[in-house]
């Protein structure tokens, strides 16, 4: 059984909750300039290499599944997958669809101010898309 897990307040504030699995939480960044998903492992560790092998493999499988869904649905120019954690130290993995015409291409998205946000209808639509593609992994939030 996993110990009590609390989502970092900044992630909770900056994201929409999409779903949850036994080992992680799936979020959508409120920054609608990019299809930007964030996977938060349910752990107190801050570095991937410190996780047990089974949890690493489980997270890798989830990252791959989410990446495949994002790549298929959005057909980006490039898919960015990163675990940075300089501002929010709680371990989290960004999965961001990038396009040659997005606001910061070819630069980084980290720290760029959002130019647009999602409507509640768009968030509902993305939740449904996640549920359709990832129902075996995540329970809809």
- Residue 68's nearest CA partner among 56, 57, 81 is 81
Longest CA span, the chain: 44
Give 47's pLDDT tier (boundaries 50, 70, 90): very high
Residue 20 near residue 43 (C-beta atoms within 8 A): no
> pLDDT for 15-43, tens place per residue?
999 999 999 999 999 999 999 999 999 99
pLDDT digits (tens, 9 = 90+) for 86-123: 888 899 999 999 999 999 999 999 888 889 999 999 99
Handedness of CA 85, 91, 97, 103 (dihedral sign): negative
Rounded Cα distance, 38 and 83, in Å: 10
Task: Domain 9-140: give its CATH superfamily.
Answer: HIT-like (3.30.428.10)
Query: Considering only CA atoms, which of 18, 38, 15 is closest in space to residue 93?
Result: 38
Q: Specify the pLDDT at position 120.
A: 96
More confident residue, 140 or 104: 104
Q: What pLDDT shows up at residue 123?
A: 96
């Amino acid at each position: 059984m996993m110990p009590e897990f609390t989502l970092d307040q900044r992630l909770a504030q900056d994201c929409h909750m999409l779903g949850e699995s036994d080992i992680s939480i799936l979020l959508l960044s409120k920054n609608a300039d990019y299809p930007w998903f964030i996977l938060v492992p349910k752990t107190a560790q801050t570095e991937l290499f410190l996780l047990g092998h089974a949890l690493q493999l489980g997270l890798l499988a989830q990252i791959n599944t989410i990446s495949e869904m994002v790549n298929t649905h959005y057909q980006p120019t490039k898919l960015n997958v990163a675990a940075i954690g300089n501002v929010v130290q709680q371990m989290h993995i960004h999965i961001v669809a990038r396009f040659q015409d997005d606001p910061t291409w070819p630069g980084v998205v980290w720290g760029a101010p959002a130019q647009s946000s999602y409507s509640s209808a768009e968030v509902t639509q993305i939740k449904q898309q996640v549920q359709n593609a990832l129902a075996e992994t995540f329970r809809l939030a």
